[in-house]
Amino acid sequence: PGDPQLASLIGELTMHSPQFAALWSQHRVRAWGTAEYRMRHPVVGELEVLQHSLPVPREQGIRLVVTTAAAGSASQAALRLLNQSLRPTTEGPKASRSATARVAPVTTPPHA
């Protein structure tokens, strides 16, 4: 609550996914776990992030993981840079979201 970036993400998902909109409107979302940790990305370096993990109803073992950084922090700026670098452009090959798979945790978040 009170996180404008999360509210923006929820708004975007609601607009582009009827399934997400239907699930979100049921208000069956509860926090599964929260972890604060540092991770090292090969392009932008070390990031300090807060991770929220939410269960997906009727999908045992599936969770939606949302990672944010403190407003105005260097980590937030780095996440924005990564987000922009993953957006397809009109020039050259399309960007691949597989780059996020190369993120290596510096500290492991506790499991919920």
Q: Count CA atoms closer than 13 A to 87's CA, side-chain side.
A: 8
Q: Is residue 61 part of a domain?
A: yes
Q: Which domain holds residue 84?
A: 31-89+97-105
Dihedral sign, Cα of residue 15, residue 19, residue 24, residue 26: positive
Q: Is residue 8 part of a domain?
A: no
Q: Is residue 12 part of a domain?
A: no
Q: Is residue 101 part of a domain?
A: yes
What is the pTM for the complete model shown? 0.47
Q: Has residue 4 got a pLDDT over 60?
A: yes
Count structural domains, the chain: 1
Summarize pLDDT for 56-86 with one digit per residue, the tens. Answer: 888 888 888 888 899 999 999 999 998 888 7
The closest of 93, 41, 30 to 69, measured between CA atoms, is: 41
Dihedral sign, Cα of residue 50, residue 33, residue 7, residue 41: positive
Distance, in Å, from the CA atom of 106 to the CA atom of 102, rounded to the nearest integer, reads: 13
Average pLDDT, the chain: 77
